[in-house]
Structure 1
Amino acid sequence: MSWALRFLGVGNAAAAPRLGSASAVIERDGRPLLMIDCGQEALDAYRRQYDALPDAVYITHVHMDHVGGLERLFFGTWFDPQRRGRVRLYVPAKVVPHLQARIADYPGVLAEGGANWWDAFQLIPVSRGFWHEGQWFGVFPVRHHLPDSAWGLRLRGSMVWTGDTRPIPEMLAEHAGAGEIVAHDCGLQGNPSHSGIEELEREYPPGLMARCVLYHYGSEGEAAALRQRGHRVAEPGELLVLAEPQPGEPAP
Structure 2
Amino acid sequence: MAAVAAPAWALRFQGVGNASATELGTPMATIERAGAPWLTIDCGSEGLSAYLDHYGEPPRAIFVTHVHLDHVGGFERLFVSEYFDPARRGRMPLYVPAPVVPLLHRRVADYPNVLAEGGANFWDAFRLVPVGEAFWHDGQRLEVFPARHHWPDTAFGLRLRGSLAYTGDTRPIPEQLRRHADAGELVAHDCGLHGNPSHTGIDDLEREYPPELLSRCVLYHYGSRADGEALAARGFRVARPGEAFTLDAPVAPDAGG
Partners of 1:5 and 1:25 within 8 A in 2: yes
Correspondent of 2:18 among 2, 6, 12: 12
Label 1:249 to 1:206 Cα distance change in 2 as closer, same or farther (>3 A).
closer
TM-score scaled by length of structure 2: 0.96
- The TM-score with structure 1 as length reference comes to 0.98
Q: Distance in 2 between matches of 1:95 and 1:148?
A: 8
Q: Distance in 2 between matches of 1:53 and 1:247?
A: 29
**For 1:167-198, what per-residue CA distance to the aligned partner results, in whole angstroms no more than 9, with x for missing partners?**
00000000001111000000011011000000
Query: Superposition RMSD on alpha carbons, in Å?
Result: 1.1
Counterpart of 1:150 (choices 131, 134, 155) is 155
Structure 2 unaligned segments of length 5 or more: list them: 1-6
Identity value in percent = 63
Q: Using the alignment, how far apart are the partners of 1:99 and 1:206 within structure 2?
A: 36
What's the counterpart of residue 222 of structure 2? 217
Which whole-Å CA distance do the structure 2 matches of 1:249 and 1:114 have between them? 46
Using the alignment, how far apart are the partners of 1:201 and 1:37 within structure 2? Answer: 26
Q: Distance in 2 between matches of 1:199 and 1:245?
A: 29
Alpha-carbon shift at residue 128 of structure 1 (Å):
1.1
Deviations 1:115-148 (A, max 9, x none): 0000000000001111111111111011001111
Structure 1 position 111, deviation (Å): 0.7
Give a deviation string over 1:1-34, Cα, whole Å, max 9, x none: 810000111000000x200110100001111001
How far is the alpha carbon of 1:247 from its aligned partner?
Answer: 2.3
- Runs of 4+ residues deviating >6 angstroms: none
Report the counterpart of residue 212 of structure 2 in structure 1. Answer: 207
Give the match's secondary structure for 2:99. coil
User: SS at 2:32's partner residue?
Assistant: strand
Aligned partner of residue 39 in structure 2, secondary structure: strand
1:251 deviates by: 2.7
Aligned length: 251
| Structure 2 match to 1:47 | 52
Whether 1:119 aligns to 2:146 is: no
Give the secondary-structure state (helix, strand or coil) at the position aligned to 2:252.
Answer: coil
